[in-house]
């Protein structure tokens, strides 16, 4: 081995040791764990090998007197909720961030204050933001309930049930909270990109008689495409990792009955995984995490292909 390579490795060693112990080993161990049932004692050696049973229980189907059924409908439901969560939050998040950036890119008095104000929620911890919004949405005593009561009387939906109390509104309510939390970060990215677009392009468009709307669609938006791609990719990752906001605001509920299955209307896959782990089904939770990893890899691959021309 070359002396330079050896010294490089030596310098990297502290990081590699920590990386190996705290990241690589748990990742490998959870894959190993996904082939085992619940531990029979507290040691790491006495595990019941179950082969692919956990994966079959997650992904498989079985026959019942009334027809074929999914082995774990709650897992598939949680995936669907995650897709819905991402499907609403990503476009809304981009629209909010872009809207704020366009507004604050004008000659507005005190725009520095607004930029800081909109960015501030992004600095706060997700759990804190979740609790704040939980209190805003709360029926009876929440801010939204109090305001709505003034205009609509005490029998209005916000005061009686609350946005988090209905299966139809709980997920959109979480999305609104998270969009407003994250919009400031996207706004900064869009602002930086907007300020890099040369003014002369707009002047040329003005001379050619393009309206402001046409300028936005044909000049601004195409030149913001790299930021849009970045926002979509980070949005997808954020949706697949969603957990804290659900934990803080809804605990996966309220419940909705579909067929004869009782399902959490906001139970995203990350939260469903956590509940399995919390309940002591470690092997099963590990298997779910690897199924989710596979889903993430597929989505990432598709995104790479889809956005390949964005550069």
Partner 1 sequence: MNRHPLLLAFAVFYVLLAILTWSQDVTRAPDGRTVLTFWHTYGDDETAALKEIIADWEKLPANARWTIRPIRLPFDGHKPKIRTALTVGLGPDMARVDWSFVCELARKNACVDLSTLGFDKIKDQYVPGPLQTNFIDGKYQGFPEQTNCVALFYNKSMFRDAGLDPDKPPATWDEFIEMGKKLTDAKKGIYAFGMDNTVWWTLPFFNTFGAHMISEDGKKCLLDSPQAIAALELKASLFATHQIEAGAWRAGGTPPEQGFQNQKYAMIFTGPWNLPRFANSKLDFGVGLIPAGPAGTSSNVGGNNAVIFRAGKHHQACFDFLAYFTSAEVQAKWCQRLNQIPVNLGAYDLIKVDDPHLKVFLEQMKSTVGNPVVTSFEMLENVVNPEMEAVLTGQKSAADAMRDAVRKVETKVLTL
* Binding residue count for partner 1, defined by CB under 8 A: 39
Backbone angles phi, psi at 35, to 5 degrees: -100, 15
Q: Does 39 contact partner 1 by CB under 8 A?
A: yes
Q: Does 152 contact partner 1 by CB under 8 A?
A: no
Q: How far is the CB of 12 from partner 1 (least distance, A)?
A: 22
Instruction: Name the CA radius of gyration of the chain, rounded.
Output: 24
Q: How is 121-134 classified by DSSP, letter by letter?
A: HHHS-HHHHHHHHH
Q: Which residue has the tokens 């969009």?
A: 179
131: its two tokens: 């609790």
User: Is residue 159 within a helix (H) or strand (E), and if so which, with residue range?
Assistant: helix 157-160
Enumerate residues 176-235 that contact partner 1 by CB under 8 A: none
Q: Which is nearer to partner 1, 104 or 263 (CB)?
A: 263
Q: How far is the CB of 158 from partner 1 (least distance, A)?
A: 10
Q: How far is the CB of 279 from partner 1 (least distance, A)?
A: 3
Out of 139, 182, 184, 270, name the contact with partner 1 by CB under 8 A: 139
Backbone angles phi, psi at 37, to 5 degrees: -85, -165
Helix, strand, or coil (residue 261): strand
Q: Which is nearer to partner 1, 86 or 142 (CB)?
A: 142
196: its two tokens: 């890099």
Q: How far is the CB of 19 from partner 1 (least distance, A)?
A: 22
Helices 126-137 + 143-152 axis angle, to 10: 30
Provide the mask over 270-289, with x wherever binding to partner 1 is found by CB under 8 A and - wherever it is not: -----x--xxxx--------
Q: How far is the CB of 51 from partner 1 (least distance, A)?
A: 16
Enumerate residues 231-270 that contact partner 1 by CB under 8 A: 249-251, 253-257, 260-264
Q: How far is the CB of 270 from partner 1 (least distance, A)?
A: 15
For CA atoms 229, 230, 232, 233, give the dihedral sign. Answer: positive
Q: How is 48-108 classified by DSSP, letter by letter?
A: -B-TTHHHHHHH-EEEETTEEEES-HHHHHHHHHHHHHHHHHHHHHHHHHHHHHHHHTS--
Q: How far is the CB of 196 from partner 1 (least distance, A)?
A: 43
How many Å separate Cα 288 from the centre of its chain? Answer: 17
Out of 77, 134, 185, 190, name the contact with partner 1 by CB under 8 A: 134
Provide the mask over 40-79, with x wherever binding to partner 1 is found by CB under 8 A and - wherever it is not: xxxxx-----------------------------------
Stretch of residues binding partner 1 (CB under 8 A), selected from 120-128, 155-163, 179-187, 224-232: 155-163
Out of 164, 191, 193, 287, name the contact with partner 1 by CB under 8 A: 164
Q: How far is the CB of 125 from partner 1 (least distance, A)?
A: 18
Q: Which residues contact 159 (CB under 8 A, 6 or more apart)?
A: 139, 140, 145, 148, 149, 152
Q: Which residues contact 36 (CB under 8 A, 6 or more apart)?
A: 47, 48, 49, 50, 283
Out of 36, 75, 77, 137, name the contact with partner 1 by CB under 8 A: 137
Residues that bind partner 1 (CB under 8 A): 38-44, 134, 137-142, 154, 161-165, 170, 249-251, 253-257, 260-264, 275, 278-281
């Amino acid at each position: 081995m070359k002396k330079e390579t050896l010294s490089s490795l030596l310098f990297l060693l502290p990081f590699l040791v920590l990386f190996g112990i705290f990241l690589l080993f748990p990742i490998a161990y959870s894959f190993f764990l996904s082939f085992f049932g619940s531990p029979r004692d507290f040691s790491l050696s006495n595990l019941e090998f179950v082969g692919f049973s956990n994966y079959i229980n997650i992904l498989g189907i079985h026959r019942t007197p009334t027809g074929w059924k999914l082995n774990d409908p709650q897992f598939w439901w949680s995936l669907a909720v995650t897709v819905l969560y991402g499907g609403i939050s990503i476009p809304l998040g981009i629209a909010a961030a872009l809207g704020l950036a366009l507004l604050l890119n004008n000659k507005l008095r005190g725009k520095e204050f607004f930029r800081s104000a909109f960015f501030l929620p992004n600095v706060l911890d997700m759990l804190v933001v979740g609790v704040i919004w939980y209190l805003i949405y709360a029926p009876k005593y929440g801010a939204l309930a109090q305001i709505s009561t003034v205009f609509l009387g005490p029998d209005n939906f916000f005061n009686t049930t609350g946005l988090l109390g209905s299966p139809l509104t709980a997920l959109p309510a979480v999305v609104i909270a998270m969009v407003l939390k994250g919009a400031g970060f996207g706004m900064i990215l869009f602002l930086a990109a907007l300020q890099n677009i040369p003014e002369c392009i707009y002047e040329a468009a003005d001379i050619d008689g393009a309206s402001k709307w046409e300028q936005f669609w044909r000049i601004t938006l195409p030149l913001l495409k790299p930021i849009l791609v970045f926002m979509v990719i980070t949005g997808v990752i954020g949706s697949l990792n969603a957990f804290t906001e659900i934990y803080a605001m809804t605990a996966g509920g309220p419940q909705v009955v579909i067929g004869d299955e009782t399902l959490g209307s906001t139970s995203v896959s990350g939260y469903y995984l956590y509940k399995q782990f919390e309940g002591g089904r470690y092997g099963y939770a590990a298997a779910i995490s690897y199924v989710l990893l596979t889903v993430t890899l597929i989505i990432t691959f598709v995104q790479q292909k889809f956005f390949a021309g964005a550069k």
